Structure 1
Amino acid sequence: MLDGIEALMALEKHETVSQAALSLRLTQSAVSKRLQALQIELDMKLVEPDGRRLKLTPEALQFLSKAKPLLLELKNLSINTANKSNHISHFSLALSDSIAGSFGPAVIDKTLKSFKNLKLDIHVHRSLMLLENVTLGKYQLGICTSNDARKDLASYHLVDEPLALLYAENKDKPNRNLPLITIEENSATWKSIGPSIKKEYPQLFANSVIYVESFLAVYQMTKVGLGNGLIPLGLCKELNIKKKHYRKLKVTRPISLVTRKTIAQLDIFNPFYLELKTNINNYFADIEK
């Protein structure tokens, strides 16, 4: 069945048997036989003509949505199992873009120094895409902020990162006549902090609100005086913003390590998680000094 699923995935991507065969380094006949065997085993029609190409049936697409992550996970587990004899682990880890632009690189670098044989391929995405790719098995690990619970994923809390209010033009207090500049409403961060910010600090919304797509844009717009800005505390540290130019708020955004449950069962996972959690918490403890 696994050979048939690989053939079906290749056909979905390339749309012709010839191109699917080329990608798998097989003959067209071999790919066709694998697809036929899978159709018989599943007792469902998997492909249908679409002009000169083939397209997957709705039943095949539904089947692949469930089979893809399992197949990718089996491959990843086999790689890790083969590497156990050399005590080497190799994972792909995705960071949400706001974390990659803040404390993420520093704490990952420090964590890797405690695991000489651990290798990480780093990727950066918006939180929602990150979660989707971890769910599908494209990445084994992800660090992000999100309230979007996924039943196929295990989530491990790392830190509650405080938000900070930046004062317009790097002044020593906010200009209450200016708008608030913050991350856009559809972001994972705003969904996790928005209600709390409005409840705890309604005065921030006394004027208009400018929503933008990145925290760096919030910082740049605040620096020139277009408004008072709302950014994560870690970014204040990375941008070397003086403490007198911002105020740490009570509201925090939860940062978590997400993975598939089978990955979490590997021997390397828990030591890696605990070391990562320690380093992140030490990072934020340094800001308070």
Structure 2
Amino acid sequence: MLLEGLETLEVLAREGTMSRAASRLFITQSAVSKRIANLEHRLGKKLIEPDGRQVRLTADARALLLTVAPTLGELKGLLFDQLSTVDTTALQIAASETILTAYIGPFLQDYVRQDAHLSFASHHTPIIVERVRSGDAVVGIGAGQIKIPPGLSHRILMQEPLILVHHQPPDYRQRLACLSIDLSIPSNRHLEPLLLEAGLDPVMQMNSFFAVAHMGRLGLMPAVIPLGVADIMQIPASQRFTLPIAIERPINLLFRPSVYERPRVQRLIDCLQAHFARSQPSQLKEGI
């Protein structure tokens, strides 16, 4: 299958090893090797070569992906639009780790009684967008400001406040060094100018809000985290502080328009929206 081989090559280029590509595609390493070998045979070109424990794409493979990668995800999505779903078809939700644990986990605990064939996986927001665009996930829920590709429906589920976590009250009369999430990730970049405006200098940036929160609790330095993370980690009110200015991050719901025409998916999306409506910041702020 040509499309299957191209998808595998694209994932392998991103992941760097057969094992990581296999994990991302939910197949075995031997299946990854077989797909690449079939694609090489079909094209008559060598596409990968060993590079220590990793694999390296050949010049032909890089040129191929440069040509097909921009349209590969959309083509997969168009094929997904034509698939029929029944009550036992697995539906995948792709979500940010913090959103999955703080908000979607409690939702799924009840919802799986209605629909036992849901699956979920956590990703950074840019990967969530791509998985929804390609049809690998029926619904995506990501945090932060994102550029919505053509062909996707987008709704804001809520605006989640950010707070400061530390073992003692902050002194906002002077600039404050703080821990934050990695602000180089596109969906997080909007936070940096807001933090600087608030007099907060994100001198240490980490890849996980949970790690940021943990370091803040230990007293390493004040940590800026979403309110939902503070709730799920049960950070006491004595260690939570409002920021000098209100800073929020949007929680985004993404799906292909065609899937909303399917009653089972429509029910899932409508129930997710209702769940987040009941979890608005005005209620969450009671613990601060």
TM-score by length of 1: 0.70
The answer to whether the 8 Å contact 2:95/2:128 transfers is: yes
- Aligned AA (1:279): H
- Deviation track 1:81-136 (CA, whole Å, cap 9, x = no partner) reads xx1xxx455311111123234333223334444xx136221111111122222222
TM-score by length of 2: 0.70
**CA 1:184–1:59 in structure 2 vs 1: closer, same or farther (change >3 Å)?**
closer
* Paired residue secondary structure (1:131): helix
* Paired residue secondary structure (1:78): coil
* Aligned-pair Cα RMSD in Å: 3.7
1:240 maps to which residue?
Answer: 234
Q: Residues of 1 paired with 2:9 and 2:215: CA distance?
A: 47
Identity of aligned residues (%): 20
**CA 1:65–1:163 in structure 2 vs 1: closer, same or farther (change >3 Å)?**
same
Select between 221-230 and 264-273 the one with higher mean Cα deviation: 264-273
- Aligned AA (1:234): G
1:40 maps to which residue?
Answer: none
**CA 1:279–1:248 in structure 2 vs 1: closer, same or farther (change >3 Å)?**
farther
The answer to whether the 8 Å contact 1:154/1:264 transfers is: no
Q: Does 1:287 align with 2:281?
A: no
User: 1:78 Cα shift?
Assistant: 2.4
The total of aligned residue pairs comes to: 251
Q: Which residue among 32, 53, 71 is the counterpart of 1:66?
A: 71
Q: Does 1:217 align with 2:222?
A: no
Q: Does 1:273 align with 2:258?
A: no
**CA 1:223–1:12 in structure 2 vs 1: closer, same or farther (change >3 Å)?**
closer
Q: Which residue among 102, 119, 122 is the counterpart of 1:121?
A: 119
2:93 maps to which residue?
Answer: 93
- Deviation track 1:16-42 (CA, whole Å, cap 9, x = no partner) reads xxx99x968xxx8xx98xx6xxxxxxx
- Deviation track 1:36-72 (CA, whole Å, cap 9, x = no partner) reads xxxxxxxxxxx24339999669468634652554346
Q: Which residue among 174, 183, 186 is the counterpart of 2:184?
A: 186
**CA 1:51–1:124 in structure 2 vs 1: closer, same or farther (change >3 Å)?**
closer
Structure 1 gaps of 5+ residues are 36-46
The answer to whether the 8 Å contact 2:157/2:273 transfers is: yes
1:226 maps to which residue?
Answer: 220
**CA 1:157–1:10 in structure 2 vs 1: closer, same or farther (change >3 Å)?**
closer
**CA 1:215–1:68 in structure 2 vs 1: closer, same or farther (change >3 Å)?**
closer
2:255 maps to which residue?
Answer: 259
1:148 maps to which residue?
Answer: 147
* Paired residue secondary structure (1:147): coil
- Deviation track 1:224-264 (CA, whole Å, cap 9, x = no partner) reads 22211100001111111222321244211000111223223
The answer to whether the 8 Å contact 2:139/2:254 transfers is: yes
User: 1:12 Cα shift?
Assistant: 8.2
- Deviation track 1:260-284 (CA, whole Å, cap 9, x = no partner) reads 2322332333332222122123234
* Paired residue secondary structure (1:102): helix
User: 1:77 Cα shift?
Assistant: 4.3
The answer to whether the 8 Å contact 2:126/2:187 transfers is: no
* Paired residue secondary structure (2:248): strand
1:38 maps to which residue?
Answer: none
- Aligned AA (1:268): R
Q: Residues of 2 paired with 1:228 and 1:51: CA distance?
A: 48
Select between 123-132 and 103-112 the one with higher mean Cα deviation: 103-112
* Paired residue secondary structure (1:103): helix
**CA 1:179–1:74 in structure 2 vs 1: closer, same or farther (change >3 Å)?**
same
Q: Residues of 2 paired with 1:287 and 1:155: CA distance?
A: 24
Structure 2 gaps of 5+ residues are 13-29, 50-57
Select between 99-108 and 210-219 the one with higher mean Cα deviation: 99-108
- Aligned AA (1:70): L
**CA 1:68–1:242 in structure 2 vs 1: closer, same or farther (change >3 Å)?**
closer
The answer to whether the 8 Å contact 1:91/1:121 transfers is: yes
